[in-house]
Amino acid sequence: MATKIRLQRFGKKSKPFFHVVVADSRAPRDGKFIERLGSYNPNTNPATIEINFEKALDWVNKGAEPTDTCRTILSHKGILYKKHLQGGVKKGALTTEQADAKFAEWLVAKDSKIEGKKDSLTKSKDEVKKAALAAEAKKNADRGAAIALKNAPVVEEVVAEEAAEETPVAETATEEAPATEESKEEEA
Protein backbone atom coordinates (compact mmCIF):
# COMPACT_ATOMS: atom_id res chain seq x y z
CA MET A 1 0.00 0.00 0.00
CA ALA A 2 1.46 3.38 -1.03
CA THR A 3 1.16 5.93 1.77
CA LYS A 4 1.30 9.68 1.50
CA ILE A 5 1.78 12.43 4.04
CA ARG A 6 -0.68 15.09 3.01
CA LEU A 7 -3.03 17.81 4.18
CA GLN A 8 -6.65 17.26 5.13
CA ARG A 9 -8.66 20.48 4.83
CA PHE A 10 -10.85 21.87 7.58
CA GLY A 11 -12.15 25.34 8.34
CA LYS A 12 -14.63 27.55 6.63
CA LYS A 13 -14.58 29.23 3.27
CA SER A 14 -11.54 31.52 2.85
CA LYS A 15 -10.22 30.43 6.28
CA PRO A 16 -8.55 27.05 5.73
CA PHE A 17 -7.09 24.96 8.50
CA PHE A 18 -5.30 21.70 7.76
CA HIS A 19 -4.48 18.47 9.54
CA VAL A 20 -1.27 16.76 8.46
CA VAL A 21 -2.16 13.09 8.04
CA VAL A 22 -0.74 9.83 6.71
CA ALA A 23 -3.22 8.28 4.29
CA ASP A 24 -3.45 5.71 1.56
CA SER A 25 -2.66 7.42 -1.73
CA ARG A 26 -5.97 6.18 -3.19
CA ALA A 27 -8.12 7.67 -0.38
CA PRO A 28 -9.92 10.98 -1.02
CA ARG A 29 -8.42 14.21 0.31
CA ASP A 30 -10.72 14.59 3.30
CA GLY A 31 -11.50 10.90 3.62
CA LYS A 32 -10.07 7.98 5.54
CA PHE A 33 -6.54 8.32 6.94
CA ILE A 34 -4.13 6.10 8.85
CA GLU A 35 -2.70 8.53 11.41
CA ARG A 36 -2.85 12.23 12.23
CA LEU A 37 0.59 13.81 12.61
CA GLY A 38 -0.26 17.43 13.40
CA SER A 39 -1.86 20.61 12.14
CA TYR A 40 -1.07 23.56 9.88
CA ASN A 41 -2.75 26.96 10.07
CA PRO A 42 -1.80 29.33 7.22
CA ASN A 43 -4.10 32.09 8.49
CA THR A 44 -1.61 33.32 11.10
CA ASN A 45 1.56 35.25 10.35
CA PRO A 46 3.92 33.38 10.49
CA ALA A 47 1.94 30.22 9.78
CA THR A 48 1.35 27.95 12.79
CA ILE A 49 2.71 24.44 12.38
CA GLU A 50 2.31 21.78 15.07
CA ILE A 51 3.68 18.33 14.22
CA ASN A 52 4.58 15.30 16.29
CA PHE A 53 8.26 15.15 15.32
CA GLU A 54 8.89 11.50 16.21
CA LYS A 55 5.80 10.13 14.42
CA ALA A 56 6.50 12.18 11.30
CA LEU A 57 10.16 11.10 11.23
CA ASP A 58 9.11 7.47 11.68
CA TRP A 59 6.67 7.66 8.74
CA VAL A 60 9.23 9.38 6.50
CA ASN A 61 11.77 6.66 7.37
CA LYS A 62 9.17 3.98 6.56
CA GLY A 63 8.82 5.43 3.06
CA ALA A 64 5.68 7.61 3.20
CA GLU A 65 5.89 10.18 0.41
CA PRO A 66 5.00 13.75 1.41
CA THR A 67 3.11 15.95 -1.02
CA ASP A 68 4.80 19.17 -2.14
CA THR A 69 3.21 21.32 0.57
CA CYS A 70 3.83 18.70 3.24
CA ARG A 71 7.44 18.37 2.09
CA THR A 72 7.84 22.12 2.67
CA ILE A 73 6.22 21.84 6.11
CA LEU A 74 8.37 18.88 7.10
CA SER A 75 11.46 20.66 5.84
CA HIS A 76 10.50 23.76 7.82
CA LYS A 77 10.24 21.72 11.01
CA GLY A 78 13.54 19.93 10.34
CA ILE A 79 12.19 16.41 9.84
CA LEU A 80 13.73 15.98 6.40
CA TYR A 81 17.05 17.39 7.65
CA LYS A 82 17.03 14.93 10.54
CA LYS A 83 16.41 12.08 8.06
CA HIS A 84 19.31 13.34 5.96
CA LEU A 85 21.61 13.37 8.99
CA GLN A 86 20.50 9.85 9.96
CA GLY A 87 21.42 8.70 6.46
CA GLY A 88 24.91 10.16 6.99
CA VAL A 89 25.21 8.26 10.27
CA LYS A 90 24.20 4.99 8.56
CA LYS A 91 26.83 5.53 5.86
CA GLY A 92 29.50 6.31 8.45
CA ALA A 93 30.12 9.90 7.31
CA LEU A 94 29.01 11.28 10.71
CA THR A 95 28.76 10.07 14.24
CA THR A 96 25.48 10.28 16.13
CA GLU A 97 26.88 13.06 18.35
CA GLN A 98 27.98 15.11 15.32
CA ALA A 99 24.59 14.67 13.70
CA ASP A 100 22.79 15.73 16.90
CA ALA A 101 25.07 18.76 17.25
CA LYS A 102 24.41 19.83 13.65
CA PHE A 103 20.68 19.40 14.12
CA ALA A 104 20.68 21.39 17.39
CA GLU A 105 22.65 24.18 15.70
CA TRP A 106 20.17 24.21 12.81
CA LEU A 107 17.21 24.38 15.24
CA VAL A 108 18.71 27.36 17.08
CA ALA A 109 19.28 29.21 13.81
CA LYS A 110 15.74 28.43 12.63
CA ASP A 111 14.18 29.55 15.93
CA SER A 112 16.14 32.82 15.89
CA LYS A 113 14.99 33.47 12.33
CA ILE A 114 11.34 32.90 13.29
CA GLU A 115 11.66 35.10 16.38
CA GLY A 116 13.26 37.81 14.24
CA LYS A 117 10.31 37.73 11.88
CA LYS A 118 7.84 37.93 14.78
CA ASP A 119 9.77 40.86 16.27
CA SER A 120 9.86 42.71 12.96
CA LEU A 121 6.11 42.18 12.52
CA THR A 122 5.36 43.57 15.98
CA LYS A 123 7.69 46.53 15.37
CA SER A 124 6.04 47.30 12.06
CA LYS A 125 2.60 47.11 13.70
CA ASP A 126 3.77 49.51 16.40
CA GLU A 127 5.18 51.90 13.80
CA VAL A 128 1.90 51.81 11.87
CA LYS A 129 -0.01 52.57 15.08
CA LYS A 130 2.31 55.48 15.92
CA ALA A 131 1.99 56.88 12.41
CA ALA A 132 -1.81 56.58 12.58
CA LEU A 133 -1.89 58.36 15.95
CA ALA A 134 0.38 61.13 14.65
CA ALA A 135 -1.81 61.57 11.58
CA GLU A 136 -4.91 61.65 13.74
CA ALA A 137 -3.36 64.22 16.09
CA LYS A 138 -2.37 66.38 13.10
CA LYS A 139 -5.86 66.07 11.65
CA ASN A 140 -7.41 67.05 14.99
CA ALA A 141 -5.05 70.04 15.27
CA ASP A 142 -5.96 71.14 11.73
CA ARG A 143 -9.63 70.71 12.54
CA GLY A 144 -9.21 72.78 15.72
CA ALA A 145 -7.38 75.50 13.78
CA ALA A 146 -10.13 75.53 11.15
CA ILE A 147 -12.78 75.91 13.84
CA ALA A 148 -10.79 78.69 15.49
CA LEU A 149 -10.47 80.49 12.15
CA LYS A 150 -14.15 80.04 11.51
CA ASN A 151 -15.05 81.55 14.88
CA ALA A 152 -12.37 84.27 14.84
CA PRO A 153 -13.40 86.04 11.61
CA VAL A 154 -16.95 86.41 12.93
CA VAL A 155 -15.67 88.57 15.81
CA GLU A 156 -13.40 90.53 13.47
CA GLU A 157 -16.27 91.04 11.02
CA VAL A 158 -18.45 92.48 13.79
CA VAL A 159 -15.66 94.84 14.80
CA ALA A 160 -15.04 95.66 11.15
CA GLU A 161 -18.76 96.31 10.61
CA GLU A 162 -18.87 98.60 13.63
CA ALA A 163 -15.80 100.40 12.37
CA ALA A 164 -17.32 100.61 8.90
CA GLU A 165 -20.51 102.10 10.33
CA GLU A 166 -18.54 104.75 12.21
CA THR A 167 -16.26 105.59 9.28
CA PRO A 168 -18.93 106.69 6.77
CA VAL A 169 -20.39 109.15 9.30
CA ALA A 170 -16.99 110.71 9.80
CA GLU A 171 -16.31 110.69 6.08
CA THR A 172 -19.61 112.38 5.29
CA ALA A 173 -18.94 115.02 7.91
CA THR A 174 -15.47 115.71 6.56
CA GLU A 175 -16.78 115.73 3.03
CA GLU A 176 -19.54 118.16 3.91
CA ALA A 177 -17.26 120.48 5.79
CA PRO A 178 -14.88 121.18 2.93
CA ALA A 179 -17.80 121.53 0.60
CA THR A 180 -19.37 124.14 2.82
CA GLU A 181 -16.09 126.05 3.10
CA GLU A 182 -15.69 125.97 -0.65
CA SER A 183 -19.22 127.08 -1.15
CA LYS A 184 -18.65 129.94 1.31
CA GLU A 185 -15.58 131.00 -0.59
CA GLU A 186 -17.55 130.92 -3.78
CA GLU A 187 -20.29 132.98 -2.24
CA ALA A 188 -17.87 135.63 -1.05
Radius of gyration of the CA atoms of the chain, in A: 41
75-81: Cβ within 8 A, 24+ apart: 76/49, 76/110, 77/49, 77/51, 77/53, 78/53, 78/103, 78/106, 78/107, 78/110, 79/51, 79/53, 81/106
> 35-41 and 15-24: which strand pairing?
antiparallel
Q: Give the count of domains, the chain.
A: 1
Q: What pLDDT sits at residue 176?
A: 52
| 115 within domain boundaries | no
Given pLDDT bands bounded at 50, 70 and 90, which one contains residue 115?
confident
Per-residue model confidence as pLDDT tens digits over 154-182: 555 666 666 667 655 545 545 555 555 55
Residue 34's CATH number: 3.30.1320.10
Q: What pLDDT sits at residue 94?
A: 85
| 8 within domain boundaries | yes
| 24 within domain boundaries | yes
Highest mean pLDDT among 108-112, 160-164, 175-179, 184-188: 108-112
| 164 within domain boundaries | no
Q: What pLDDT sits at residue 55?
A: 93
**What's the rounded mean pLDDT across residues 53-81?**
92
Q: What pLDDT sits at residue 114?
A: 86
When comparing pLDDT for 182 and 83, which is higher? 83
Q: Which domain holds residue 49?
A: 3-78
**What's the rounded mean pLDDT across residues 82-100?**
89
Task: Judge whether residue 79 has pLDDT over 80.
Answer: yes
Alpha carbons 15 and 41: distance in angstroms, whole number: 9
Q: What pLDDT sits at residue 46?
A: 82
Determine if the pTM surpasses 0.75.
no
Provide the β-strand partners of residue 5: 22, 66
Per-residue model confidence as pLDDT tens digits over 42-54: 998 888 999 999 9
Alpha carbons 123 and 44: distance in angstroms, whole number: 17
